Amino acid sequence: MKNKNSITWIVLMLLTIITAFLIGPRYAAILILLISAMKFLLVAFQFMELKKAHSFWKVSMIIVVTFVSAAILVIL
């Protein structure tokens, strides 16, 4: 269990570093938003134990993240 948490933490740190270097590209805001959604889902499923939850909560979390990300993209 501890090893999976460590790997997830390393992936989260790598995604954060990648996000820090995405200032220059034209579609940086979209890429940052997608990486943020990925990081949120990683934290929710790994550290908040959502992977052991009922399927309804898994699907609803993914749908909420998708709708929020889409709404932000429409605003941009």
Is the torsion defined by CA of 45, 47, 51, 56 positive or negative?
Answer: negative
Please tell me the pTM assigned to this model.
0.79
The CA radius of gyration of the chain, in Å to the nearest whole number, is 14
pLDDT tens digits for 31-65?
888 889 999 998 998 888 888 889 999 999 999 99
Q: What 3-state DSSP class applies to 27?
A: coil
The domain segmentation of the chain, as residue ranges, is 2-75
Q: Report residue 26: phi and psi, to 5°.
A: -65, -40
